[in-house]
Structure 1
Amino acid sequence: MKTVRIGCAGWSLGSAHKAHFPAEGTQLERYAAVFNAVEINSSFYRPHRPETYRRWSASVPGDFRFAAKLPRSITHEHRLAGTTALLDKFLAEVGALGASLGVLLIQLPPSLAYAEDRAGAFLRTLRERHAGGLCLEPRHASWFSAAAESLLDEYRVARVGADPALNAAAAVPGGGAGPRYTRLHGSPRMYWSDYGPEQLQAVARRLRAEQAAGADSWCIFDNTAAGHALGNALELRRLLRTAAAGGDPS
């Protein structure tokens, strides 16, 4: 069976859920004793030294994986154009994660429309430098087209399924070969809202269907502002474990 990875955007451990984690170790070590994935969002805002990535990698079990978000200088400031030097710098840093690097996450600004020449040149440059998993979260409606899907398929880039979604297509993972990647930002209030039992059960059913279809799946909770991400991730993990054991996950 393929792997389902559940985690949060960051590994901060709130006191409300501390009983679910070991009492000893760094926050990352304690987090990684329970979850098998995490998303590094801080790389979007600032660079990290290779030594930092190397220390993080040494802190987690061998089957744990990081998703690392591309810097905003690439996606938002340069808007994918003329980014070769920036890509080389970022890849030299994040490469220190070694085998624990699972995917690179490319989140685009909502105003960045699909343009085949620009997107194709960027993905070609990135693919020449990185053979691993790539996941793209576009937020302009023009990206949800047959032409864009074809380009993502050509460069083996998975398209993120996000909530809240700007349209029906954006809610479901798509794109090319690679992991199915879901980012749950919280809705109706982005980053703040909690996910209820029915919503989490629906997510669990979709992840199980992706796994049964032969895809590795990621589900990352980004509703961190009020601390709901950790509880939601723990409950989704419980639902999937219960279902795998043949029990009633409700």
Structure 2
Amino acid sequence: MSASSIFIGCAGWSLPREYWPTFPEQGTHLQRYAAHLNGVEINSSFYRPHKPQTYARWAESVPDGFRFCVKLPKSISHERRLRDCEQELDAFLEQCAGLGDRLGCLLLQLPPSLAFDEAVAEVFFVELRQRYSGAVVLEPRHESWAAAEMLLMAYRIAQAVVDPSRISTDAAPRGWPSVRYWRLHGSPRIYYSPYDSVYLERLAGDLRVAAIDGVDTWCIFDNTASGAAIGNALELRRILAHG
């Protein structure tokens, strides 16, 4: 399985100085990043809106096979807590539509305090699916979401594999099986620790299995605080490229 069929990247496209020699000297940070990695997670959308023109500029900066995952705003997940979000959804989806066919999926990360309420979740998923038919990935952080499997299947929502694990269902892909998404925050020190080669070799095997199954496969490194994410993403790409 070719690594080009698997989207590997980081949460954001910052390039730590130690890795500058690996990337082209010319271009924006995103253009340089996209020379070696084929996916990225936009986390800044969680904190603030971006204009459609900004998303369009980003889309124009990357090769054809590059894809973006865009994180839903905290106004939806953390402030409104999935309730009465129609206006926020409309605004967000209008903005990130600027990515065009470079939009690979949406990420919904829930606060640890948000328990699973089937009625609330279903209303939100209906509203989302009325507006957007593409891939959606959920990262719940309250144990009660273990009961959400049937609802996730019904509305074609994938549940991310997360490390370090927060809840009992983090360790393997769940929900809608047509997209599989690994979100790796760094372990044992979250956001800082790099993953070693043994872990990355095992991870590469899991990604190959997912890709061979013909599903959209993502691996995003969020251990960005000390720059480990870029190194891990590049090593994982090398492992995949060499079989």
What are the within-5 Å matches in structure 2 for residues 135-146 of structure 1? 135-145=137-147
* Structure-to-structure mapping, 1:80-119, within 5 angstroms: 80-119=82-121
1:239 corresponds in structure 2 to 239
**1:219 correspondence with 2:219:** yes
1:16 shift after superposition: 1.1
Q: Deviations over 1:186-215 (max 9, x none)?
A: 111110111111111111111011112222
- How does 1:1-250 map onto structure 2 within 5 Å? 3-145=5-147, 148-243=148-243
What is the SS of the residue equivalent to 1:87? helix
Cα distance, 1:160 vs structure 2:
0.6
Counterpart in the other structure of 1:246: none
d(CA) in 2 for partners of 1:110, 1:104: 19
Q: Is the 8 A contact 2:13 2:30 kept in 1?
A: yes
| Residue pair 2:146, 2:168 contacting (<8 A) in 1 also | no
1:61-97: per-residue Cα shift (whole Å, max 9, x none)?
Answer: 1111000000000000000001001000111111111
Give the Cα separation in 2 of the matches to 1:186 and 1:90: 29
Task: Give 3-state SS (helix, strand or coil) of 1:7's partner.
Answer: strand
2-structure distance, mates of 1:215, 1:91 = 23
- Residue 98 of structure 1 and its aligned partner are, at CA, apart by 0.6
* Aligned Cα root-mean-square deviation (Å): 1.1
Distance 2:161 2:69 in 1: 15
Structure 1 CA distance, aligned partners of 2:234 and 2:185? Answer: 16
1:120-152 deviation digits (Å, cap 9, x = unpaired): 00001000000111001011111113xx11101
**Higher mean displacement: 33-42 or 17-26:** 17-26
The letter of the residue matching 2:233 is A
Amino acid at match of 1:61: P
Distance 2:63 2:70 in 1: 17
Task: Quote the Cα distance in structure 2 between the aligned partners of 1:52 and 1:167.
Answer: 35
The 3-state SS of whatever aligns with 2:170 is helix
TM-score (norm 1): 0.94
The number of equivalent residue pairs is 241
Q: Give the corresponding residue for 1:247.
A: none
Query: Does the 8 Å contact 1:7/1:220 carry over to 2?
Result: yes
Q: Distance in 1 between matches of 2:136 and 2:211?
A: 18
Deviation at 1:33, TM superposition (A): 1.1
Question: Which whole-Å CA distance do the structure 2 matches of 1:28 and 1:207 have between them?
Answer: 24
* Partner SS for 1:79: coil
Structure 1 unmatched runs, 5+: 244-250
Query: Helix, strand or coil for the counterpart of 1:121?
Result: helix
Quote the offset at 1:178 in angstroms.
Answer: 2.9
TM-score by length of 2: 0.96
Q: Cα deviations across residues 146-167 of structure 1 (Å, max 9, x unaligned)?
A: xx11101111111111001124
